[in-house]
């Protein structure tokens, strides 16, 4: 997958509402930032579209792993 990308997510927020998000991302760092800022996790993600094509949620597992490592790295002293 080359950048830039148009991504569309549908995910459940902390109160259970379904939220839709469309964003343009220009790098993997941007992609991770969008996921983190919106609170999108592997478990609350419902649908993924990239460049107007459907993707399975599992195709983003590597990004969620990087996001988790990145977040854990900031939390450790």
pLDDT tens sequence across 60-69: 898 888 888 8
Residue 24 tokens read as 């343009």
Q: What is the pTM of this model?
A: 0.76
Spatial CA neighbour of 67 closest among 43, 41, 38: 41
Per-residue model confidence (pLDDT) at position 76: 61
Per-residue model confidence (pLDDT) at position 63: 87
Residue with tokens 């993600």: 45
- Cβ neighbourhood burial of 35 (10 Å; 0-12, 13-18, 19+): buried
Summarised one tens digit per residue, pLDDT across range 35-64 is 889 889 999 999 999 999 999 989 889 888
How far, in Å, are 7, 18, 32, 69, 72 from residue 77 at the CA level?
Answer: 34, 35, 22, 14, 10
């Amino acid at each position: 997958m080359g950048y830039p990308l148009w991504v569309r997510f549908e995910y459940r927020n902390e109160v259970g509402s379904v939220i839709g998000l469309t964003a343009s991302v220009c790098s993997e760092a941007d992609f991770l930032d969008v996921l983190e800022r919106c609170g999108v996790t592997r478990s609350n993600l419902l649908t993924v579209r990239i460049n107007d094509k459907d993707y399975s949620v599992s195709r983003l597992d590597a990004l969620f792993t990087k996001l988790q490592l990145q977040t854990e790295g900031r939390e450790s002293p």
